[in-house]
């Protein structure tokens, strides 16, 4: 199981968790396990891994994942371009690629902008 994944959780959600602005995967697992004491930690970890693996696979297949109230994950196309190697200053070709994109949902935006 991949323990190298980090996730940024910003103000609104981190206040709910009562922790710092940066939340890493192990902290997220602890919060989920604490909120669901009837589940073993291994089961929570497997569910979280499955959740993120399914999102990743759907995006890799060119799909979109929408979580109502949270937001939508999709990919965007970036054209190839000429870049510059910052170390040497020489021009390099940057190939076209797809990059992940997240659009927060209406409820998420409202929660982040509460005054």
Neighbouring C-alpha atoms within 13 Å toward the C-beta of 82: 3
Strands 91-94 and 6-8: unpaired
Question: What pTM was estimated for this model as a whole?
Answer: 0.68
Dist. CA 112–CA 8, nearest whole Å = 14
Best CA proximity match to 78, nearest among 103, 102, 95, 57? 95
Give the tokens for residue 56: 């990743």
Answer whether 7's CB lies under 8 Å from 25's CB.
yes
Residue whose pair of structure tokens reads 């390099």 in the numeric block: 92
Domains of the chain, earliest start first: 1-49 (no CATH), 62-115 (4.10.520.10)
pLDDT digits (tens, 9 = 90+) for 43-96: 999 999 999 999 999 999 999 999 999 999 999 999 999 999 999 999 999 999
Residue whose pair of structure tokens reads 């073993």 in the numeric block: 40
What is the number of other CB atoms lying within 10 angstroms of the CB of residue 46? 13
pLDDT digits (tens, 9 = 90+) for 92-113: 999 999 999 999 999 999 999 9
């Amino acid at each position: 199981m991949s323990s190298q994944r980090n996730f940024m959780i910003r103000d609104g959600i981190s206040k709910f968790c009562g922790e710092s602005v940066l939340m890493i995967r192990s902290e997220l697992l602890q919060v989920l396990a604490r909120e669901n004491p009837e589940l073993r930690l291994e089961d929570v970890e497997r569910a979280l891994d499955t959740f993120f693996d399914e999102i990743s696979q759907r995006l890799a297949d060119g799909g979109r994942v929408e979580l109502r109230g949270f937001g939508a994950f999709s990919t965007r196309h970036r054209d190839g371009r000429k870049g510059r190697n910052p170390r040497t200053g020489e021009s390099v070709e940057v190939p076209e690629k797809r990059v992940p994109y997240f659009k927060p949902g209406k409820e998420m935006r409202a929660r982040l902008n509460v005054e």
